[in-house]
Amino acid sequence: MKAAVLQFPGSNCDQDALAALRDGLGIEAGYRWHKETTLGDFDLVVVPGGFSYGDYLRCGAIARFSPIMKAVVAFAERGGKVLGICNGFQILCEAGLLPGALIVNDCLEYRCLTPHLRVEEAGPLFNPASLGPLLRLPIGHGEGNYRIAPEGLAELKANGQVLFRYADAAGRVTEAANPNGSIDNIAGIRNRAGNVFGMMPHPDRAFAAYHPSQDGLAVFRSLLELPAPAHA
Amino acid sequence: MTRPPLPPNPDPVLNVPLTEELIRRHGLLDEEMARIRELLGREPTLTELGIFSVMWSEHCSYKNSKPLLRLFPLEKAETGDGPGRILVKAGEENAGVIDIGGGWAVAFKIESHNHPSAVEPFEGAATGVGGIIRDIFTMGARPILVTNSLRFGELDDPTVKRLFRGVVAGIAHYGNCIGLPNLGGDVYFDDSYEGNPLVNALCLGVLRHDEIKRGAASGVGNPVYYVGAATGRDGLGGASFASRELSEESQADRPAVQKGDPFMEKLLLEACLEMMAVPGLVVGIQDMGAAGLTCSACETAARGGAGIEIELDQVPQRETGMNSYEIMLSESQERMLVIVQKGREAEVEAIFEKWDLHAAHVGQVTDTGRMVVLQGGSPVADIPARGLTDEAPVYQRETRRPAYLDEVQRWDPASLPAPAAADLETALPKLLGHPTIASKAWVYRQYDHMVRASTVVAPGSDAGVVRIDCGEAGDRYLAVVNDGNGRYCALNPRRGGQIVVAEAMRNLVCTGARPLAVTDNLNFGNPYKPEVFYLMAEAVAGMAEACRAFDTPVTGGNVSLYNESPRGAIDPTPVVGAVGLLEDPAHLTPSHAGRAGLTLVLIGGFPFELGGSQYLKIIHGLKTGDAPSIDLEIEKTQNTFLLDRIAAGDVAAAHDLSEGGLLVAAAEMVFGADGVGVSLDLTAADGPRADALLYGESQGRILLATTPEKTAGLIQAAAAAGVSAQVIGETTGDGRLEVRLPGGSKGLGWSVDELHRAWSGAIEQAMHRPGIRS
pLDDT of B241:
58
How far, in Å, CA of B352 to CA of A21, rounded?
Answer: 29
pLDDT of A176:
96
Note which residues in 170-199 of chain B have CB less than 8 A from chain A: 172, 176-179
Across-strand partners of A141? A111
How far, in Å, CA of A222 to CA of B762, rounded?
Answer: 42
CB A15 within 8 A of CB A47: no
How far, in Å, CA of B711 to CA of B19, rounded?
Answer: 75
The domain ranges of chain A are: 2-224
Cβ of A201 under 8 Å from any chain B Cβ?
A: no
Identity of the amino acid at B609: E
CB B487 within 8 A of CB B611: no
Ramachandran category for residue A217: left, alpha or beta (phi over 0 → left; psi -120 to 50 → alpha) = alpha
DSSP string of B683-706, one letter each residue? TT---S-HHHHHH---SS-EEEEE
Chain A residues touching residue B177 (CB < 8 angstroms): 10, 12, 51, 54-55
pLDDT digits (tens), chain A, 232 positions? 999 999 999 999 999 999 999 999 999 999 999 999 999 999 999 999 999 999 999 999 999 999 999 999 999 999 999 999 999 999 999 999 999 999 999 999 999 999 999 999 999 999 999 999 999 999 999 999 999 999 999 999 999 999 999 999 999 999 999 999 999 999 999 999 999 999 999 999 999 999 999 999 999 999 999 887 765 4
CB B120 within 8 A of CB B167: no
CB B259 within 8 A of CB B170: no
Nearest to A140 among B261, B267, B450 (CB): B450
Chain A residues touching residue B262 (CB < 8 angstroms): 51, 54
How far, in Å, CA of A53 to CA of A32, rounded?
Answer: 16
Other C-beta atoms closer than 10 Å to the C-beta of B34 total 10
Mutate to test the interface with A, among B267, B450, B584 (most CBs of A within 10 A): B450
Cβ of A12 under 8 Å from any chain B Cβ?
A: yes
| Beta strand pairing call for B677-681 and B736-740 | parallel
With CB atoms and an 8 Å threshold, state whether A112 touches B772: no
Please state which architecture CATH assigns to domain B81-212+439-588: 2-Layer Sandwich (3.30)
With CB atoms and an 8 Å threshold, state whether A51 touches B453: no
Q: Is B587 a catalytic residue?
A: no
Q: Do domains B214-389 and B397-431+589-768 have the same CATH topology?
A: yes
Cβ of A143 under 8 Å from any chain B Cβ?
A: no
Q: How far apart are the first and last CA of chain A?
A: 21
Question: What is the dotted CATH code of the domain comprising B397-431+589-768?
Answer: 3.90.650.10
With CB atoms and an 8 Å threshold, state whether A54 touches B456: no
Identity of the amino acid at B234: D
CB B458 within 8 A of CB B449: yes
For A170, half-sphere exposure in the C-beta direction (CA atoms, 13 angstrom radius) is 3
CB A218 within 8 A of CB A131: yes
CB A109 within 8 A of CB B446: yes
* Å between A19 CA and nearest CA of chain B: 9
Question: What is the dotted CATH code of the domain comprising B214-389?
Answer: 3.90.650.10
Chain A residues touching residue B356 (CB < 8 angstroms): 9
* Å between B234 CA and nearest CA of chain A: 20
Note which residues in 443-482 of chain B have CB less than 8 A from chain A: 444-453, 456, 467
Could you tell me how far CA B108 lies from the centroid of its own chain?
10
Other C-beta atoms closer than 10 Å to the C-beta of B688 total 10
pLDDT of A232:
44
How far, in Å, CA of B315 to CA of B279, rounded?
Answer: 26
Cβ of A140 under 8 Å from any chain B Cβ?
A: yes
Chain A residues touching residue B261 (CB < 8 angstroms): 54
Alpha-carbon torsion angle B344, B348, B353, B359, nearest 10: -110
Tens of pLDDT, residues A186-226 = 999 999 999 999 999 999 999 999 999 999 999 999 999 98
Please report which residue ranges of B120-258 form alpha helices under DSSP H.
Answer: 121-137, 158-178, 238-241
Cβ of B21 under 8 Å from any chain A Cβ?
A: no
ipTM above 0.90, yes or no: yes
Percent of chain A predicted with pLDDT > 90: 95
pLDDT of B256:
66
How far, in Å, CA of B275 to CA of B263, rounded?
Answer: 18
The domain ranges of chain B are: 81-212+439-588, 214-389, 397-431+589-768
Cβ of A215 under 8 Å from any chain B Cβ?
A: no
Could you tell me how far CA A89 lies from the centroid of its own chain?
5
For B603, the enclosing helix (H) or strand (E) is strand B599-603
Chain A with chain B: Cβ pairs closer than 8 A: 89
CB B586 within 8 A of CB B208: no
Cβ of A142 under 8 Å from any chain B Cβ?
A: yes
Count of positions (residues) in chain B: 774
Q: Which residue of A has its CA nearest to B465?
A: A210
Chain A residues touching residue B176 (CB < 8 angstroms): 51, 110, 140, 142
How far, in Å, CA of B38 to CA of A25, rounded?
Answer: 68
Q: Which residue of B has its CA nearest to A181?
A: B773
With CB atoms and an 8 Å threshold, state whether B176 touches A140: yes
DSSP string of B55-93, one letter each residue? HTSHHHH-TTTHHHHTTS--S-SS-SSSTT-EEE-TTTS
* Å between A192 CA and nearest CA of chain B: 30
Cβ of B267 under 8 Å from any chain A Cβ?
A: yes
Q: Which residue of B has its CA nearest to A141?
A: B448
Nearest to A13 among B451, B585, B773 (CB): B451
Nearest to B263 among A10, A113, A210 (CB): A10
Q: Is B113 a catalytic residue?
A: yes
* Å between B469 CA and nearest CA of chain A: 11
Query: What distances in angstroms separate CA B578 from CA B164, B464, B555, one per listed residue?
Result: 24, 11, 10
Cβ of A112 under 8 Å from any chain B Cβ?
A: yes
HEC-encoded secondary structure of B529-563: CHHHHHHHHHHHHHHHHHHHHHCCCEEEEEEECCC
Residues of chain B scoring pLDDT < 50: none
The CATH superfamily assigned to A2-224 is Class I glutamine amidotransferase (GATase) domain (3.40.50.880)
Contacting residues for A48 by C-beta, under 8 A, at least 6 apart: A5, A6, A7, A11, A12, A13, A14, A16, A17, A85, A86, A87, A88, A204
How far, in Å, CA of B617 to CA of B274, rounded?
Answer: 52
Sign of the C-alpha dihedral computed for residues A108, A112, A118 and A123 taken in this order? positive
pLDDT of A231:
53
pTM: 0.96
